Every structure is written in C-alpha cells, then in structure tokens.
Amino acid sequence: MSALAAPTSAATASAAPPAPAAAAAPTDTAPRTPPAGRLAAAVASAQATAPPPAKPQGSTLGTFKALAKQGKPPAEAQMGERPSSMDAVRKELGDCQRCKLHQRRTNIVFGVGEPNARLMFIGEGPGADEDRLGEPFVGKAGQLLTRIIEAMGLSREQVYIANIVKCRPPENRDPEPDEVAACEPFLAKQVAFVAPEVIVTVGRVASHALLNLRTPITRLRGTWQKYRGILVMPTLHPAYLLRTPEAKRLVWNDIQEVMRALKLERPS
C-alpha cells in the first residue's frame, strides 16, 4: 500500500477543516517556493502546445438525479454502502450505454490510481487523449495535473483520479444533465469505495456537479466544501492554467490548503 493509502476499512472524513487562507492575487513577485517553482516551470513548458479553449456551453446539471429525488444536495447526503471492490463497480458499469455519449466514444474512462487513497481528484470528463487511451488526465492538462501532484510530494499512483462523466462529450462540450445523471451512481460508488479524506474538484463543471452549487469557480475555488461528509477543495482546471499561467499561484494556494488538511510536508 502506498504512503498515502488509507486503511482498507472505510475511512472517515478528517476533523473540522482548517480556516482557508486568503487567496493571494496573481503576481510575478510572489515568493518563490520549490514546489511552486516546479509548477510554474510545468505551466511554461506546456503552454506552447496548449489546446484551444472549448466553446462556451450552457450550465451543467448540479443536482445528481438520485439525490434530487430525495430533495437534498450531495453535501447533505450520507456516504452510501461501500462496494466490495473497485473492480465490482467497473463490472457493474460494463459496456455502458446509459446515455448518448457511448455512441461516439472509443473507450470508457473509468478511473485510475490508489483505490484506498486519502486524496481523490475529480475532473469534468475525458478529452481526445483520454478517450483514446482509456485513462483520465493524460493530455496536456493531465500532464500538468501530474506535475501539481508531484509538487505535493506525491505521485499519480498515490491518489485516485476520476471524472464526472466517463465518456468523452463531443467537441469537448460540457456534459449534459442526463449524461451527468447516468454516470453519477458509479462516481458515487467510486467515492464510497475510496473513502478519501479530501476530494479536489478540478474546474467549474466538476465542482458544480459534485457540490450542487452555481457559485462562479473563481469565487468557489479555495473554499472548503463537503460532499457526503468528505472535505472538498474546488480549484481551477489545469487546462485553464495552460491558457492563463498567472492563475497558477491561486491553484498552488488551494493545493497548500489540501496539504495542510492531510498533514503533508512540503517536499524539499
């Protein structure tokens, strides 16, 4: 089991979250720390080949179907029964055809990493590279996410990474409400099995869908939230950092809050 893996019994959420530090405005004169320096270098190296931004789309479903029927948001619901294994969740998903996204996919992008991790990252959905390889966050934005994880002193193998939807939306558009609802039971079971102490939601779509909120991501990021009793830290998407590298300091502030919650020491 990795250094960051939790015991195989169901983990519980950490104690009351630390008070979030005030977000620092992006600045070229901010103090240089080794992790932030590596993150800045990663942004600079990836920016040249960053993909163009996706076309703006309408809002994404924030209330998952099952919880909407109960009349309460995910943050107020309790964690469901823990599945017997992550393989059992994947087997139940099968060759999913529960929404129209299956019609154009190459691969289902289920999730990857340590199934007993203390830290889980949840993104929006697969892009072209992820659809081709069947693994989340492997394109340019994914490579930057890997650098961010490494700046925490961790590796991809020590965390668990999943998405709100498991098939690529055409033209990288936002997932539609029925698509989010079709995947929600399986994401909920993934979260229930991992039982992480902290979830980092990556970007607007993932943050809004998981937390059932409509707060702009620029205001939501850096604030502690909860999903079924688990601490959640929303942050900006790595793809946004590729287009807006001055925002890297904000993301690093958010990541430092996560490190404090998990009592992780900064790498030297």
The confidence score (pLDDT) of residue 210 equals 98
For residue 89, CA distances in Å to 96, 133, 240 come to: 12, 20, 31
Per-residue pLDDT tens for 53-76?
443 333 333 333 443 344 334 444
Read off the pLDDT of each residue in 11-36 and give the average, rounded to a whole number: 42
Q: CA torsion, points 82, 255, 247, 52, in degrees to nearest 10?
A: -40
The confidence score (pLDDT) of residue 266 equals 84
Band of residue 50 on the pLDDT scale cut at 50, 70, 90: very low
The confidence score (pLDDT) of residue 233 equals 99
Per-residue pLDDT tens for 3-17?
455 444 333 333 444
Residue linked to tokens 């990288």: 172
Which domains are present in the chain?
84-261 (3.40.470.10)
Adjacent-strand bridge partners of 112:
161
Residue linked to tokens 């033209």: 171
- 114 touches 162 (CB < 8 A): no
Per-residue pLDDT tens for 100-127?
999 999 999 999 999 999 999 999 999 9
Between helix 248-261 and helix 140-151 the angle, nearest 10°, is 50
Q: What percent of the chain has pLDDT over 90?
A: 69
Band of residue 267 on the pLDDT scale cut at 50, 70, 90: confident
Read off the pLDDT of each residue in 12-36 and give the average, rounded to a whole number: 42
Residue at 197: amino acid letter:
E
Distance CA 9, CA 234 (A): 26
The confidence score (pLDDT) of residue 37 equals 58
Adjacent-strand bridge partners of 163:
123
> How far out from the chain centre does Cα 135 lie?
14
- Closest residue by Cα to residue 112 from 122, 104, 102: 122
Per-residue pLDDT tens for 122-164?
999 999 999 999 999 999 999 999 999 999 999 999 999 999 9
Structure-block tokens of residue 176:
């539609």
